[in-house]
């Protein structure tokens, strides 16, 4: 059997079968400006020269900047053991196992991961992981529509605008109505507006904790309201915050999802990241994605299997619970190792450190002339400040001074053009925060 | 009166109540049933609509409504004991009852003799 993926004859046969003349006409829907026709690289370079060229290009990225940038992805420290362990040959594949039961170690690692996600979220069952926080949340939306047989999904303004764009794309052709409610920068989701939006067609209400603006909320009251209306409550959560914040399962949340990047994955434009997904026991069969289960083999020895596969794509085809039937095994493994290294107490201390640094930064930045702290409700590690100038412009000026100052909110909220979302992690020292405040003062 | 579909459901009529399940042939083909996703009471279906899903160790299969109607009751014991469908597919392993059906729709379904012949094909 040949492993050459597509011979010219095969390509021609495939094009003929679908009635297309050439590869170019197959891609006719993609604007020419978006197609890669030629790499902007000189011809005939040696391996070393290519390496040097790409290395120089990569240095244009701001990875040496002192980062106060968050918005869902955070600059946390990664213990060296994470890289060391994931690069073991037994583990080093990014992909889901396709002859799974021969890879007991891989399955055990995924099982441990699922168990940790359950403990972290306070829910009963977790899947083997998804692509990222956004796709996990979009899958939760589809799941809620499927479970309830209803068609409207209510999104609070605290949900990341990036995730909301993804949800709109996912649901665009499915006849699902999205009701998007505003959440004030200063505070928490407006309960009265949420209550008014609930009706017999609402499948789910989607919240985020902390909100995109960094504020912390307890959705227990909302859970009661949502359940009384026969809908599900979905929460997207920042896993590090769960070291001290109330867990979604303890609030009555039905489906919890989130971005797992902060659990031992480096920041990287476009990922690969990690979506986690957990549900209450009675929803487990409607949960998308792969699931590893523990069982005993015929000798009575503990072993692991991929379970509940009958609802998956390769068996249920178009009626599968999801079009995702893969997972991010290597990224999930990083999170598993990271959480094992930290432990319960370590995660708590990490979360407390993030809050303390953020509170110090809030106080310090409030002293800068012209800066106003917009966040009023309690925040976790991130908050909104208002500047006397366009926040995007301030970010550019601070890059020159060695700082990634934060996320300029004007990108998604035109009315908040002067507002900057500032994030703190345990990596930021007091000296860095002080230097940042000084640099901001100079830049304004 | 009991009738059968080509998709291997049975339906039994008692007055204005139609009881629905999957046939012995169906359970035998599916293998060990691990889960019955019972329909919601009050769900309205047309003949041929997906009524619910039955999951076995081999596959997850749709159960199609043999008649149009409204789900009146479901066999709750299948939630805890889905294997009842294997043990007694055409009695204790019933799935749900339908009301408000049109008896005329029964005419296109098979009798026990016709169904037995159909399964041998």
Q: Which domains, from first to last, does chain B contain?
A: 2-102 (2.40.50.100)
Domain containing residue A409: CATH number = 3.90.1150.10
Residue A151 pLDDT more than 90? yes
Residue A425 pLDDT more than 70? yes
Residue position matching structure tokens 């920041």: A267
Distance set, CA A416 to CA A291, A375, A400, A412, A421 (Å): 42, 13, 23, 8, 10
Q: Which residues in A lie closer than 8 A to residue B36 (C-beta atoms)?
A: none
- Cβ of B55 and A311 within 8 Å? yes
In a domain, A24, yes or no: no
Q: What share of chain A is helix, strand, coil (3-state, %, to 5)?
A: 45, 15, 40
**A379 & A305 share domain:** no
**A219 & A101 share domain:** yes
A206: helix, strand or coil: strand
**Other Cβ atoms closer than 10 A to A210:** 22
**Other Cβ atoms closer than 10 A to A34:** 7
| Residue A149 Cα, gap to closest chain B Cα (Å) | 10
pLDDT at residue A96, rounded to an integer = 63
pLDDT at residue A32, rounded to an integer = 87
- Cβ of B55 and A310 within 8 Å? yes
Alpha helices by DSSP H, A232-298: 248-251
In a domain, A253, yes or no: yes
The pLDDT of A138-153, averaged and rounded, is 95
- Cβ of B34 and A310 within 8 Å? yes
**A173 & A225 share domain:** yes
**A313 & A436 share domain:** no
Residue of chain B nearest A282, judged by CA positions: B79
Give the span between the Cα atoms of A287 and B39, in whole angstroms.
Answer: 18
Q: How many CB pairs under 8 A join A and B?
A: 19
**A355 & A372 share domain:** yes
Q: Which of A290, A314, A337 is the last residue of a domain?
A: A337
pLDDT at residue A19, rounded to an integer = 93
Q: Which residues in A lie closer than 8 A to residue B57 (C-beta atoms)?
A: 310
Contacts for A306-313 with beta carbons within 8 Å, 24 or more apart? A306/A97, A306/A100, A306/A101, A306/A107, A308/A284, A310/B34, A310/B55, A310/B56, A310/B57, A310/B58, A310/B59, A310/B60, A311/A285, A311/A286, A311/B55, A311/B60
Residue of chain B nearest A307, judged by CA positions: B57
Contacts for A337-340 with beta carbons within 8 Å, 24 or more apart? A337/A81, A337/A82, A337/A85, A337/A86, A337/A264, A338/A78, A338/A79, A338/A82, A338/A263, A338/A264, A339/A116, A339/A120, A339/A263, A339/A264, A340/A112, A340/A116
Q: Which residues in A lie closer than 8 A to residue B55 (C-beta atoms)?
A: 285, 310-311
B37, B43, B58 ranked by CB distance to A285: nearest: B37
pLDDT at residue A318, rounded to an integer = 75
**A168 & A282 share domain:** yes
A209 contacts A239 by C-beta, under 8 angstroms: no
The share of chain B scoring above pLDDT 90, in percent, equals: 89
In a domain, A438, yes or no: yes
Closest CA to B86 of B57, B52, B110: B57
**A134 & A234 share domain:** yes
For A143, the token pair is 């799941």
Residue A57 pLDDT more than 70? yes
Residue of chain B nearest A316, judged by CA positions: B60
| Residue B35 Cα, gap to closest chain A Cα (Å) | 9
- Cβ of A149 and B62 within 8 Å? no
Q: Establish if B56 touches chain A: CB-CB under 8 angstroms.
A: yes
B62: helix, strand or coil: strand
User: In this structure, what are the phi and psi dihedrals at residue A290, rounded to the nearest 5 degrees?
Assistant: -85, 155
pTM of the model: 0.87
State which residues form the domain around A141.
80-337
Q: What's the burial of A2, exposed, middle or buried (CB within 10 Å: 0-12/13-18/19+)?
A: exposed
In a domain, A109, yes or no: yes
Q: What is the pLDDT of residues A168-207, one digit of tens each?
A: 999 999 999 999 998 889 988 889 999 999 999 999 999 9
Chain A residues in contact with chain B using a Cβ-Cβ cutoff of 8 Å: 149, 285, 310-311, 315-316, 319
Q: Which residues in A lie closer than 8 A to residue B43 (C-beta atoms)?
A: 149
In a domain, A57, yes or no: no
Query: Please, what is the average pLDDT of chain A?
Result: 93
The pLDDT of A64-92, averaged and rounded, is 94
Q: Establish if B40 touches chain A: CB-CB under 8 angstroms.
A: yes
Q: What is the pLDDT of residues A214-257, one digit of tens each?
A: 999 999 999 999 999 999 999 999 999 999 999 999 999 999 99
- Cβ of A310 and B40 within 8 Å? no
B40, B57, B60 ranked by CB distance to A316: nearest: B60
- Cβ of B60 and A310 within 8 Å? yes
Would you say the C-alpha torsion A253, A254, A259, A260 has a positive or negative sign? positive
Domain containing residue A146: CATH number = 3.40.640.10
Q: Which of A301, A320, A337 is the last residue of a domain?
A: A337
- Cβ of A315 and B55 within 8 Å? no
The pLDDT of A307-324, averaged and rounded, is 76
**A246 & A369 share domain:** no
For A236, the token pair is 């997207």
Confidence of residue B59 (pLDDT cuts 50, 70, 90): confident
Residue B117 pLDDT more than 70? yes
- Which helix (H) or strand (E) segment is A208 a member of? strand A202-209
Residue of chain A nearest B33, judged by CA positions: A310
Peptide bond into A210 cis (omega under 30): yes
- Cβ of B59 and A310 within 8 Å? yes
Residue of chain B nearest A308, judged by CA positions: B57
Residue of chain B nearest A312, judged by CA positions: B60
Q: Which of A298, A315, A337 is the last residue of a domain?
A: A337
Residues 6+ apart with CB under 8 A from B121: none
- Cβ of B60 and A315 within 8 Å? yes
Q: Which residues in A lie closer than 8 A to residue B56 (C-beta atoms)?
A: 310
A122: helix, strand or coil: coil
**A205 & A271 share domain:** yes
The count of domains in chain A is: 2
Residue of chain B nearest A317, judged by CA positions: B60
On whether ipTM exceeds 0.90, the answer is no
Residues making up chain A, counted from first to last: 444
- Which helix (H) or strand (E) segment is A333 a member of? helix A329-366
**Other Cβ atoms closer than 10 A to B8:** 23
């Amino acid at each position: 059997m040949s492993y050459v993926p597509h011979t010219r004859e095969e390509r021609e046969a495939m094009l003929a079968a679908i009635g297309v003349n050439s590869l170019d006409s197959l891609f006719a829907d993609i604007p020419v400006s978006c197609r890669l026709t030629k790499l902007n690289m000189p011809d005939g370079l040696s391996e070393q020269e290519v390496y040097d060229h790409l290395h120089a290009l990569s240095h244009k990225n701001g990875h040496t900047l002192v980062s106060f940038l968050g918005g869902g992805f955070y600059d946390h420290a990664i213990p060296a053991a994470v890289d060391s362990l994931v690069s073991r040959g037994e583990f080093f594949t990014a992909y889901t196992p396709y002859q799974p039961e021969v890879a007991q170690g891989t399955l055990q690692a995924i099982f441990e991961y699922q168990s940790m996600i359950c403990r972290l979220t306070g829910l009963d069952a977790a899947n083997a992981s998804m692509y990222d926080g956004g796709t996990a949340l979009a899958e939760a939306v589809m799941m809620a529509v499927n479970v309830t047989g209803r068609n409207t999904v209510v999104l609070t303004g605290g949900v990341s605008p990036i995730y909301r764009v993804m949800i709109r794309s996912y649901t665009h052709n499915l006849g699902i109505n999205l009701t998007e409610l505003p959440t004030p920068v200063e505070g928490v989701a407006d309960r009265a507006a949420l209550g008014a939006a609930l009706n017999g067609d609402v499948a789910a209400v989607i919240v985020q904790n902390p909100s995109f603006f960094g504020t912390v909320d307890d959705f227990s009251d909302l859970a009661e309201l949502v359940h009384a209306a026969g809908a599900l409550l979905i929460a997207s959560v920042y896993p590090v915050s769960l070291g001290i914040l109330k867990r979604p399962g303890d609030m009555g949340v039905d489906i919890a999802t989130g971005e797992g990047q902060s659990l031992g994955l480096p920041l990287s434009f476009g990922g690969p990241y990690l979506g986690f997904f957990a549900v209450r026991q009675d929803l487990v069969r409607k949960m998308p994605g792969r699931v590893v289960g523990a069982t005993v083999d015929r000798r009575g020895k503990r072993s692991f299997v991929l379970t509940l596969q009958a609802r998956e794509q390769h068996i249920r085809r178009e009626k599968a619970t999801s079009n995702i039937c893969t997972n991010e095994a290597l990224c999930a493994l990083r999170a598993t190792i990271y959480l094992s290294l930290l432990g319960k107490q370590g995660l708590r201390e990490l979360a407390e450190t993030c809050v303390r640094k953020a509170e110090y930064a809030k106080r310090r930045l409030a002293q800068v002339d012209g800066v106003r702290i917009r966040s009023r409700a309690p925040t976790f590690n991130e908050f909104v400040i208002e500047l006397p100038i366009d926040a995007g412009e301030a970010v550019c000026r601070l890059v020159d001074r060695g700082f990634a100052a934060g996320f300029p909110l004007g990108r998604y909220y035109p009315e908040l053009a002067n507002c900057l979302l500032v994030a703190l992690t345990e990596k930021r020292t007091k000296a860095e925060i002080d230097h940042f405040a000084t640099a901001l003062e100079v830049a304004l | 009166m009991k009738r059968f579909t080509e998709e291997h459901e049975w339906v039994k009529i008692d007055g204005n109540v139609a009881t629905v399940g999957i046939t012995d042939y169906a359970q035998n083909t599916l293998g060990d049933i691990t889960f019955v996703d019972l329909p919601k009471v009050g769900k309205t279906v047309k003949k041929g609509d997906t009524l619910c899903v039955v999951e076995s160790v081999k596959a997850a299969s749709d159960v199609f409504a043999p008649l149009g109607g409204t789900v009146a009751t479901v066999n709750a014991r299948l939630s805890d004991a889905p294997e009842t469908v294997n043990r007694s597919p055409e009695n204790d392993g019933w799935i749900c009852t339908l009301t408000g059906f049109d008896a005329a729709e029964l005419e296109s379904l098979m009798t026990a003799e016709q169904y037995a012949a159909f399964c041998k094909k």
